[in-house]
Chains A and B, each alone.
Chain A
Amino acid sequence: MLAPVGSEVLRAEHVEKSFGRIVALRDVDLRLHRGEVLGLLGDNGAGKSTLMKILTGYYQPSSGQLYFEGNPVQLRSVSHARSLGIEAVYQDLALVNELNVYRNMFLQREPVFGGALGILDERQMRTRAMDMLERMRVRVPSVDVDVAKLSGGQRQAVAIARSVYQKAKVLLLDEPTAAMGVKESALILDLIQHLKEGGDIAMIIIAHNYAQIFDVCDRINLIEEGVIEFDKRTSETSVQELTDRVVREYRSAREEARLERS
C-alpha cells in the first residue's frame, strides 16, 4: 500500500515554535514528497534542529499543523513518529559504542525466543544485519565488531541502514557528513544516492555544507531566523546562487553588528 512516487508524504503548515519568549520557528511551510531528497540549510540557530525535532515528534509545535501522507497528524512522541515511519539519524550518532554492529541494528527490535525471558536470537540478528548491509552496499569489517572500532563514516552508514531497515518512509539526517573526511563523506553521499534510486524513501538532509550535499538533493530549502526563505529545485538553482545568498546574509549580519556597536 505504498503511495505513488511523487505524492506528498510530509507537510508542515504555518508551524511555529517558541520557548518562553524566544521564537525559534515563525511560520514554517515545508513539503516533502515520496522518493524526494530535500536539503534543509541554514545557519546555527536558524531553526533547523528545532524543525527537525518537531518533524520527529520530539517537540510539539506551538501552533500550526503537520500532515503525514495527506492526513493531519499530531506527533505525540518520537516513538509515535517512528511508528508512522518517520526516522531520524542524529549527529551524535544513535549507536552504542559498546555493542557490536548487529546488536546496534536490532536494539529495541530484537528478535527473541523464550517468550518473557527474551533470549536474543543472535543468529537471526547476525544474518539479517549482514544481508541488509550488503543490499545497501554498506561495507563494515564484520558485523561482530563493536561499533567503537568503526570509522565515523561506517558508523553513520550503519545508523542510516538501521533506520531504513525499520521501514522508514521519511528519513531525517542531521548533518550526516559533519566532521568527516572527503572519502568518508563520499561513502555516505553514495549511500543516500543509492537509497534515492530505490525511490521509496523521502529524505531531509540537514546540513551546513550545502556544496557537499547539493548533488544528491532534489530540492533545497533555506531557513533563516525561523522562516523558510528559499525553496527551489536543485535544477533551478546552483551552488553559486546559494553562496551568493549566504555571502549577502553574512554581510548584512556584519553590518547589523557594526550598528549595534556604535
Chain B
Amino acid sequence: MQDVAKRAGAADPHRLGASRTNLLHRVSGVVLRWREASILLACVLLAAYFQSTNPAFLSLSNIRNLIDFTATTAIIAAGEVMVLVCGELDLSVGMVYALVPFIMYFLAADGLPHGAALVLALSAAGVVGLINGVITTFLSVPAFVTTLGTMFLINGLTLTISGGFPVQPTAGAAFTAAFGGSPWARLGWALAIAIVLQFVLNRTRFGLRTIATGGNLTAAAEVGVKVTSIKIRNFVLCSILGGFAGIIDAFRIGSIDPLAGGSEIMFMAIASAVIGGTLLTGGSGTIIGALIGALALAILQDGFTLNGVSAFTFDMILGAAILVTMAVNVRLTLWRERGGG
C-alpha cells in the first residue's frame, strides 16, 4: 500500500494536500515560536494589500517615505522597550525629543562645535532620564505619574527657551547628512540601535538583570540585583534615545520645531513596542519587534495617505489595529506558554 502511495507521488492530490498542510504547519510553528514573526507577517500582508491598491506603494521614493516614518519612532521605541522590560514606563520621551535639538542649537549658536553640542545635548537628555529614574525609584512615585509630570515640565521648558518659534539647524553638510539628513543615515541609525539594543537585552549581563528586574522585582532584589540602578540606567538610556531621535528628525526636516514630537510620537513609540510583542507588565520585550511594530504603523499611515484616507480616519484604523493585534498577541502568548498547542 505504501509503495503504491509513494509511486503515485506528486500526482496524488491527497499528498499534495498533505504537503500544503505541512507547510502551513511549519509557518504557523514559526509564528508561534518566534514572537516577532506574527507582526512581520502582518507587515507583509499590509504591504501586499497597499501594493495591490496602489502600485506606487513599493516605489523607491515611497520606500524612502516608509523609512522616514519608521526610523525615529523605532529609535524611541527601542528605549521605551528597555524601560517597559524593567517594569516602568516613560511618557516624557516625546518632549525630550523636542527639547534636545534646541539645546544642541543654542550650544552651537554659542560657538561650540556641533559634535560637542550634540554630546552635551544628549547628556541633558540623560539628566532628564536620571530625574525620571530617581523620582520613580527613590521616592516610589509610579513612573506613569513621574513621567507625566516631567512630560509637561519639559514641554514648558522647550516652549520657554525657544520662545515658541522654530529655528533652522546650522551644522555643516556632512554632519547634517550623518545625523539624519541622509535617508540612509536614518535607516542605518535605526537598524544599528535596534540590533545593538537587542543584543544588549538578550545577550548581556545588563539585559539579563533588566529582564529580571521587570519580571520579578522581589526575586531580583533578593539575589542582589541592584534594581534601582538598573531602572535608572534604563530611564537614562530611553531619554538619550528620545533626544537622539529628535536630532535626527531636526536634520531630516531642516527645522527644529518646539511643537514637534510630543505625546504623539511617544504614544506611537509605545504602540510600536506593544504591537511588536513587548509586555506593559514588564519582564518581556523585543527591540526588533518594536522596530517591526514601528514599520507596521508606518505602512498603515503611509498606505492610507497614498490611498487618500484622511488623518482622522487613520487614527480610527490605528486604534482598531492596535486592539486587533493585541487581542491576537495575547492569544498567541497563551498558545506559546502551553507549548505551542
Which residues from chain A sit less than 8 Å from chain B, CB to CB? 78-79, 82, 88, 90, 92-99, 103, 107-108, 110, 112, 117-120, 122, 148-149
Main secondary structure of the interface of B (DSSP, over half): helix
Bound-state CA distance A95–B209 (Å) is 12
Using CB atoms, name the residue of chain A closest to B285: A98
With contacts A92-B219, A99-B208, A99-B212 known, is A108 near B224, CB below 8 A? Answer: yes
Please name all residues of chain A whose beta carbon is closer than 8 Å to the beta carbon of B211 when the two chains form the complex: 96, 98-99
A119 to B225 Cα, complex, angstroms: 17
Do A99 and B225 touch (CB < 8 A)? no
What are 8 A-B pairs with beta-carbon distances under 8 A? A94-B218, A94-B222, A96-B211, A98-B215, A99-B215, A117-B204, A118-B206, A148-B337
CB distance from A243 to the nearest CB of B (A): 34
Contact indicator B224/A96 (Cβ below 8 Å): no
> Is B204's CB under 8 angstroms from A107's CB?
no
At the interface, yes or no: B329 with Cβ under 8 Å from chain A?
no
Whether A94 contacts B219 in the complex (CB less than 8 A), given A78-B224, A107-B225, comes out as yes
Report whether B205 and A118 are in contact in the complex, using a CB–CB cutoff of 8 Å: yes
Chain A positions within 8 Å of B223 at CB level:
94, 107-108
Q: How far is the CA of A247 from the CA of B211 in the complex (A)?
A: 47
CB distance from B207 to the nearest CB of A (A): 8
- Assess A97 versus B216: contact at CB under 8 Å? Given A118-B205, A120-B204, A120-B208: yes
Interchain CB contact under 8 A, A149 and B209: no
Specify which chain A residues have a CB less than 8 angstroms from the CB of B220 in the assembled complex: 96, 107
Determine if B283 is an interface residue (Cβ-Cβ < 8 Å).
yes
Seen from chain B, the residues whose Cβ lies within 8 Å of a Cβ on chain A are 203-206, 208-209, 211-212, 214-216, 218-220, 222-225, 283-284, 337, 339
Which residues of chain B are near A148, meaning CB under 8 Å?
A: 337
A-chain residues with CB within 8 Å of residue B219 when the two chains form the complex = 92-96
Whole-angstrom distance from the CB of B60 to the nearest CB of chain A? Answer: 38
Sample of 8 further A-B pairs with CB below 8 A, known A118-B205, A120-B208: A79-B224, A94-B218, A96-B212, A98-B212, A98-B283, A99-B212, A108-B225, A122-B203
Contact between A118 and B204, CB atoms less than 8 A apart: yes
Residue of B nearest to A117 (CB): B204
Of A93, A95, A110, which contacts B208 at CB under 8 A?
A110
Q: In the complex, what residue of chain B is closest to A111 when comparing beta carbons?
A: B205
Residue of B204, B216, B224, B283 most packed against chain A (CB within 10 A): B216
Given contacts A78-B222, A92-B219, contact A107 B209 (CB under 8 A): yes
Complex contacts, B224 vs chain A, CB 8 Å: 78-79, 82, 108
Chain A residues lying within 8 Å of B205, measured Cβ to Cβ, are: 110, 112, 118-120
Residue numbers in A under 8 Å from B203 (CB-CB)? 119-120, 122
Across the interface, do B222 and A90 meet the contact criterion of CB distance under 8 Å? yes
Most buried by B among A78, A112, A118, A122: A118
* Residue in B206, B212, B284, B339 whose CB lies within 8 Å of A107: B212
Q: A97-B283, A149-B339 are in contact. Are A107 and B222 (CB under 8 A)?
A: no
Residues on the A chain within 8 Å of B208, using CB: 99, 103, 107, 110, 120
Q: Closest chain A residue to B222 by CB distance?
A: A94
The closest CB in chain A to the CB of B205 belongs to A118
Most chain B beta-carbon contacts within 10 A, residue among A78, A107, A122: A107
Residues of A contacting B337 in the complex (Cβ-Cβ under 8 angstroms) = 148-149
User: In the complex the two chains form, is B204's CB within 8 Å of A95's CB?
Assistant: no
* Smallest CB separation, A30 vs chain B (Å): 22
Point out the residues of chain A lying under 8 angstroms from B209, CB to CB.
107-108
- B212, B223, B225 — which one has the most chain A CB atoms within 10 A of its CB? B223
CB proximity of B222 to chain A, nearest CB, Å: 5
A262 to B241, CA, bound (A): 68
CB <8 Å contact, B284 and A98: yes
A88 to B337, CA, bound (A): 29
| Chain B residues closer than 8 Å to A119, beta-carbon distance | 203-205
Residue of A nearest to B223 (CB): A108
How far, in Å, is B297 (CB) from chain A's closest CB?
A: 26
- Ranked 3 nearest A-B pairs via Cβ: A118-B205, A98-B215, A96-B215
Residue of B nearest to A166 (CB): B223
Q: Which residue on A lies nearest to B199, using beta carbons?
A: A119
B218 touches A96 (CB 8 A): no
Q: Which residues of B contact A103 (CB under 8 A)?
A: 208
With the chains together, A228 CA to B224 CA distance in Å?
Answer: 30
A112 partner residues in chain B, CB cutoff 8 A = 204-205
Q: Do residues A96 and B222 form an inter-chain contact, with CB atoms below 8 A?
A: no
CB neighbours (8 Å) of A94 from chain B are: 216, 218-219, 222-223
Say how far A149's CB is from chain B's closest CB, in angstroms.
7
Please name the residue on chain B nearest to A56 by beta carbon.
B222
Residues of B within 8 A of A117 (CB): 204
Q: How many angstroms between the C-alpha atoms of A23 and B283 in the bound complex?
A: 38
Complex interface: chain B residues within 8 A of A120 (CB): 203-205, 208
Nearest-neighbor residue (CB-CB) of A58 within chain B: B222
